[in-house]
Chains A and B, each alone.
Chain A
Amino acid sequence: MTGFRVIAQTVRAHWGILTLTSAGLIVAYYVAQIAVLYFRLGHLPNYVTAYDYPANVAQIIRSTPAMSDMIPIILNEWILEIGYMDYNYGHGIAQWTMGILPSKLLMIAIVSALISLNALLWRTTRHSCSHLERRSLVGAAGLGAVMAGLVNISLSWVVCCGTPAWIVGLALLGLDIGLAFTLEPFGVWIASVGFAFLAMSTLRLASHNLTVQSTARRTSLLPEIA
């Protein structure tokens, strides 16, 4: 049995808790962004706008001849906008917004599922590997989650007239502007490395789990995860 089979087995056995924790992590991810904004700028969101995502995607498909252009535009499409409108100026000006983009939501859902899976596998294997390895795996998973999470930040600010992108969120969260812009071209790489760390950690934990299960079978003990 490979690590992948252990993962599949774990998912089958614990899909309920996995779904719940993943959903909780997704909510926590977006709530955390709003919380940081609140502490940094002092305002809670005061407006929500929902977008007709299917109709907008259909419009993009109709109006974009090249597939290579169509995909990135669709990936940038919003389904929900939550923000703070400052009514001290004009009839109100959006000071900051957090967009829910299905493409980013999917990425965050994958990250959340991997974190939940890691936690489940870690619970089983925590006594089967060394303290150092355990800490390394937790560290790798954590670092991976942070990297993938950062690149999927979906905050925007009226300040960045030129380039609304994930680095806007970083700048908004307090990162130096120059550093944020330096990081921008590496977004895909940062996310990829993040996902790789998470996946590696999951697989490693699954392998350990395999060892636990083999040992359990040899000693006729029931496996904790089956």
Chain B
Amino acid sequence: MSGISASAEGLVRPDELPPAVVGGFWGRLRAKLFSSWWSTATTLLLGYLILRWGFAFLAWSLGHAVWSVPYTAQGAPDTAACHAVKGIGACWAVIADKYRLILFGRFPFAEQWRPAICIALFIGLYVVSALKRFWRKELALIWTATLTVIGLLMWGGVFGLTYVRQDLWGGLPLTLILSTFGLALAFPLAILVALGRRATNLPAVKLLCVLYVELIRGVPLISVLFMASVMFPLFLPEGLDIDKVLRAQLGIVLFSAAYLAETIRGGLQAMPREQFEAADALGLGYWRKTLLVILPQALRLVIPPLVNSFIGLFKDTSLVLIVGIFDLLNTGKVAMSDPVWQPFSTEVYLFLAAIYFTFCCAMSQYSRRLEREFDRGRK
């Protein structure tokens, strides 16, 4: 061993020896931040900008921020303190004043504990669905039960709860309802469409499914929402009228079903052929084969992309603002339009962005972790 290295030392000129590996904290720092003059320049420039803007942002959002303002005798907020720091400090008082409106919209003030519980139920539902030990048929039951309870809490009219019309719903619960009910109702439809698109022995059904998926995926959501809000009333016989929120919900379901169907089809395609053949060999019919053998495996496979679809759906529900429904973004907009608080819209936007970001980021982190796990399992 030593003889070899000695002879190598004899052959290699000193300046051709491999660079010395520098370990430890400083070594790593050098390798990651100052490995070349180009890297050093980048580090210095970015470091300077981060420090400068980071501190400026901290000073604006925390240091000079105004957290609450006094109220005048008439009950109107006195925003003089906010105007005094405009440009150098954030005015979080707008959130303190308006958070009930932003979170719950026009839901009757005294009853707002009901949508608050709904938010908690939704988060609980997401957490339960994320746990692998609940990935069984019972999950469908849990979803049905939770969504029923949420419907009861929002509508009321039973158990001594006062009835609240849907046009009074708003804020975060409405965003969660539109996206979660959208997913739950689109899911069965999407499975049928995905199966139909793979049914080579039923060409007419296959064509129908292909047309549906490709047409919906070719047009923007807003056109589907317009259709839901303007054309649906024309579709129904006179006297039968469904509410604006329900119509938008229906539009979202039709829209997301097309995207979900493609995701599920991906899972069906990824199933090895032996699974189909084994089910055939057992003598199972089409539906038993699909329900007992194929779907349970295929759906498991597509959970990460399903979560990603749900993130997209969650963000896309903000579009209902355009057809005049008071989701989280729209209630935020209403809060900003108050003339007293109008100059402080940036703070409201940041608050809304933080809420959306928290939900989406948690879900995307989860989906990525799951994907890595699945990849490991396959190797």
Q: Do A and B bind each other?
A: no
